[in-house]
Structure formats: structure tokens, C-alpha cells
Amino acid sequence: MRKGYLFLITMVFMTITETLHAQDFDNVITYMDYIGKQHQTIAKRFLTYNSAASHGKRAKKVENLRNKVLNEIDESRMNISGMPSFKGDKEYRDSAVSFMKLYYNVMNGDFSKIVDMEEISEQSYDMMEAYLLAKEMANKKLDDASEALHLAEKRFALAHNVNLIDGKDEIGKLMEEVSEVNHYYNPIYLIFFKSYKQEAYLMDAIEKKNINGIEQSKNTLLKNAEEGLAKLDTMKGFKGGDRSLIISCKKVLEFYIKEVKEKIPVIADFFLKNEAFEKMKIEYGKKSQPTQADVDLYNKGVKETNNAVNAYNEANNFLNNYRKDLVNNWNQTVDAYFDNHMPSYK
């Protein structure tokens, strides 16, 4: 199943309105520009990594890109650490160094754990929810640190008479788009995954011919699917337009409801009839001279079991065919959504 890969930092870059003078750290513009370029280098490297992850590649396969981000962060941190204070003012420089350290720790520590969590995230809905939440929490750490650095930059500019205009360059805009694409996708994916996983539990109960398990699983699946549809009805298309994920997810949930209400009772009925017939067959075999009533009852059991087998096969074939088509359609819709909306950067 396609998962969302929401994990980015929103960096705010400043447009400096004064003319760049001599390339030395005694000039305030040169000083600020140097730190800003260190940020942008990291942002570009991170966007390359995030784009690769967001376009369907497993996190393990883009680990080398994450390592490149870590190397860039470490290099930028050392570059900024080597800068002198500006006329005795070291807050902006030290804030940038602190930011680099936190960024490194999150990418190296938090995100490393997230990569490991991805490997087991599909084992249960709770694990999937925890996986996505861990990414959101790590992202918030970086957002908070970024905002703190942005404020330090503004204070530094104000203290040294630099006129700043808040704005986002191309990289900043792309990173913002990544956030929007994933922020929209993740809740819909969780709605899908909750019922998708519950149906897997139902199929497991069917395979084991566990009547109680079938009953419990189908009731939970019905509840999940109906609640999911209600949530989807409150959602709008991406940026008010693209409703493809909503439509595809609805079709899957509607299938689960039809499955539970119409097809699972047929399957459960087969197991019950077959179990009853097996018991009848054992008792019938014990009779050396069965009566006509015994024969009639046995023949009736054979007919009912055969009918139940046919109904079971028909229901099972229906479910297998439609399930495959709908899940394939969901995956294709997700791929198209990311291809159409997720920025690519190389």
C-alpha cells in the first residue's frame, strides 16, 4: 500500500534588498547571504530526498539520499561555526548552528527510527497511525526550529539596518507544495488502510473457518467502512479540485459494505451447513440399515451443502475479482495523485 511521506522543514528565505558588496564577513549583506546559502544548499538536498521518497520509493532505497542530507547539514554547520561574530553580535550565527545541530539530530535520530517504523507499519492500523504521527512530530520539531531561526534572522537584520522582505524562493515554494500534498493524502490513506486491514483480518478468519472470528471481523469492518464514508463526505478535493482519492477510497469502502452485508453471510452459511452435514454424515455412517427417513434427510443435507458450496464459490469469486480491481484502482489513483501534484526535484 502506498503511504504518505510527510517529513519536511519549511524554511523561510529572505530577499535582501541591499546590493551585495565585497565578499567578506565585515559586510552585513555578505554575512547574511553566506548563512542563507548554507540553508538553501540543505533545502535542495532535502527536497531531492523527499521527492524520491514521495514518488513511491521505499525509504530504505533512498537511505543514501538521507545520508547526503546529513553530510550537507554537517558541512554547513561547520562552515557557519567557522564564521566570526558580526561586530560582536553572535546570536544569528549561533542560532543557525543550533538549528543545523537539531536538523542533523532529527534526520539522523528521529528519521532513522521512522525508516525502521515503516518496515512494520502495515502490520496494523495502530502501527500505521504511529508511523505517520512520528513523521508529523519530527516535522514539527523542524518547523519550530525553523521559526526560531527566522526570528533570529529578523532581529539580526533589524539590529544592523538591513531591510528584509519576507518571501519564498523556488525551493521554499516546492517544499510547501510537498507539505500540502502529503497533508491532504495522509488522512484519506488512514481511512482506506483502517478498513483494508480489517478486511484482511476477516479473510484470515474465513481461511481458518472461524465462525466467531468472521462475525466479529465483519461487524468491525462494517463499522470502519461506514465511519470512513462519513468522514470522506466531509472532505473536499485537493485544493478544491482533485477528488480522485476521495472517489477511489469511497468505492473501496462501498465494496467492503456490500461484502459484509451480502457476501459474508453466504460464506458463513456455507461453513455452518458444511459443518452440520459432516456431523450428519458421521451419524449416517454408523447406521447399518438406515430408514427411508434417514436416507431422505441425508439426501436433503447433500443438496443443501452442494447449493451452499455453489453459493460460496460464487461469492468468493465475486469478492476476489472486485477486490483486486478496486485495490489496483486505488493504487493507480494514488500514483496518479502523487505524479500530478508532488513536486519533483533532482
Q: Express each pLDDT in 181-238 by its tens digit.
A: 888 999 999 999 999 999 999 999 998 989 999 999 999 999 999 999 999 999 999 9
Specify the pTM: 0.78
d(CA 273, CA 265): 12
pLDDT digits (tens, 9 = 90+) for 312-342: 888 888 888 889 899 999 999 998 998 888 8
Nearest of 333, 328, 338 to residue 247 by alpha carbon: 333
- 56 pLDDT band, cuts 50/70/90, is low
Pick the closest to residue 36 from 52, 22, 49, 20 (CA basis).
20
Q: Which residue has the cell 558580526?
A: 86
Three-class SS state of 191: helix
CA 187 to centroid of chain Cα atoms:
8
Whole-angstrom distance, CA of residue 156 vs CA of residue 50 = 31
DSSP label of 23: S
Which whole number is the average pLDDT over 77-103? Answer: 92
Does the pLDDT of residue 309 top 90, yes or no?
no
Query: Residue 6 — pLDDT band, cuts 50, 70, 90?
Result: very low
The residue behind cell 472532505 is 235
Give the pLDDT mean for 55-70.
Answer: 72
**Spacing of C-alpha 95 from chain mean position:** 32
Give Cβ neighbours of residue 113 (< 8 Å, ≥ 6 apart): 134
Nearest to 244 by CA among 197, 196, 323, 184: 184
Single-letter residue type at 39: H
Q: Which three cell numbers mark 244?
A: 480522485
- d(CA 235, CA 245) in angstroms, rounded, equals 10
> Residue 21: which pLDDT band, with cuts at 50, 70 and 90?
very low
Torsion angle (degrees, nearest 10) of CA 65, 68, 70, 75: -160
Backbone angles phi, psi at 90, to 5 degrees: -115, 5
Closest-CA residue to 99 (of 226, 221, 209, 12) = 12
CA 204, CA 86: separation in Å to the nearest integer? 67
